[in-house]
A and B are shown apart, each in its own frame.
Chain A
């Protein structure tokens, strides 16, 4: 059974004060997130990621389609006992202390007295806020707020965790901590569904990703699978400082560093490049395939005008 099953979910907002006009936020979206995987929901700002997550959480009503989480409809409040949610740039009741906030959320999640207190203590330890447990949230830094946000989302031991831009605005250490925590959650058997526009995080973490742009789904799959669609390239390395003109003519991106030349060239021109090296009596040191990054995929597939090049659902 899929942990999250999205069946044609779509959203159109009405904008304007006097003359309402429709604004499409999400075209019918079909997506399935399997249990136990870390799934990245990627796309530039305004792509429709947050709208999708809000519909899953029942904060925004879909204009069409449906979705199920752990086999239950998203408008079933009892299903939410099995879900943890961290909104984008979370803001919490700043008059509460960290402990009081978690106690409150524990009560709303239906945790009973003793169990709740134990879990609150455990969670404060887990996110490194034990010493700040009795400090009011208005004195928390942004990183601490993100940590208490994560704590509240997993306090009730949910089976599915949904994070909206969990690394946004965090420093490198904070991002690393969040990544580690997400991996721990996966090891505990939980399903992690998170949105991000920080592609390096998605590459480092995700079993699978979905790419969305202008409210439309473009690709779903493993990162390697998606990036393999890009024109495959190889890197050639040889000693010396000589870069033959015929190598440049093949479209190679050459870089001389010290006594080594590195040239990146499309795989289609690999044989021709090797022939050039042989003809120029240059000795090949290594030939390695270059793996494209998600960032390169974004640049290649989603052009600045927002029209996808070679898009495939």
Chain B
């Protein structure tokens, strides 16, 4: 990897960790994990299920909010504030800038996920002090959540490369919401005919398949996740993110920074 990408990524990470909003969101996610303990205590025999479900959902949702909130400004804010001018007037390729921004935010999200996951594990330990063999699937669920973040970050970056932060946020949230029902959309496509079938199938495969990356309920019920799914999800998330990033680079390479 080019050292310039690493420097841009580290600076993006530094920007994120110096943003107070980030800590508010993390604190809120940790509070939700704590709240899950309270809810768990009034749910006899299913405390673990409630803590895992609520805790991991909080990690996922707040991570997505952070990914979109920071991701939408990664390029557009730099153009608006003209901070990009002094970066691109140096020996830095535009694609290196996009890649650096992506890795910087991805790194931030991984660290945040670890912090928020630690909160979930503490909550889990509180309701059930003994580790179980099935707890290892929590790590797989967290890994899938990180894959979700990569997809959402790349989409936020794609939208940020050509539209305003507000529109980028609307686009990215919409795709996340629709993608959460991607499996249903694919099922619907299978029930239609003719042109509608083509259109519905295209839409179903174009939106990110967030639902496939969500195994929270499965692991909460102590069901294992197959290695094949892990492999498929990894390949899918990396491919989808790479495509979105290529789109961002293609747009950004042609853009005049007025």
Contacts and interface: CB of A to CB of B under 8 A. Distances in A.
Contact of B258 (A13, A90, A93): A13
Contacts of A92: 83, 86
Given A59-B257, A109-B91, A110-B91, A85 B85 contact: yes
A171 to B, nearest CB: 22
Nearest to B253: A61
Nearest to A62: B256
B227 to A, nearest CB: 40
A85 B89 contact: yes
B184 interface: no
A81 interface: yes
Interface in A44-86: 54, 57-61, 77-81, 83, 85-86
Contact of A104 (B3, B7, B19, B93): B7
Interface in B79-93: 81-93
Contacts of B18: 95
B81 A108 contact: no
Given A95-B18, A104-B11, A81 B82 contact: no
Contact of A93 (B3, B11, B89, B90): B11
Contact of A80 (B19, B90, B258): B90
B225 to A, nearest CB: 39
Interface string A105-127: 10111100000000000000000
B255 to A, nearest CB: 9
Nearest to A77: B91
Given A104-B7, A104-B11, A108-B7, A90 B92 contact: no
A92 B86 CA distance: 9
Interface in B52-99: 81-93
A76 to B, nearest CB: 9
- Bin chain B's interface residue count: 20 to 34
Among B84, B89, B91, residue most surrounded by chain A Cβ atoms (within 10 Å): B89
B15 interface: yes
A109 B81 CA distance: 21
A59 B89 contact: yes
A59 B88 contact: yes
A158 B4 CA distance: 19
A57 B256 contact: no
B258 A109 contact: no
Contacts of A80: 89-92
A105 B11 contact: no
Contacts of A153: 86
Contact of A59 (B7, B15, B85, B91): B85
Contact of A95 (B3, B14, B254): B14
Contact of B3 (A83, A107, A152): A107
A87 interface: yes
Nearest to B16: A95
B83 A61 contact: no
Nearest to B100: A108
B15 A93 contact: yes
A105 B83 contact: no
A78 B96 CA distance: 14
B92 A93 contact: no
A153 B90 CA distance: 10
A107 B14 CA distance: 15
- For the complex of A and B, the 7 pairs showing the least CB-CB separation, nearest first, are A85-B89, A107-B7, A59-B257, A87-B85, A57-B89, A95-B18, A60-B256
10 contacts: A54-B258, A57-B85, A58-B89, A80-B90, A83-B89, A85-B85, A95-B18, A108-B8, A108-B87, A109-B90
Given A60-B258, A78-B91, A104-B11, 13 more contacts: A13-B258, A54-B85, A58-B89, A59-B88, A61-B254, A79-B91, A80-B92, A83-B89, A86-B86, A87-B86, A93-B11, A108-B7, A108-B87
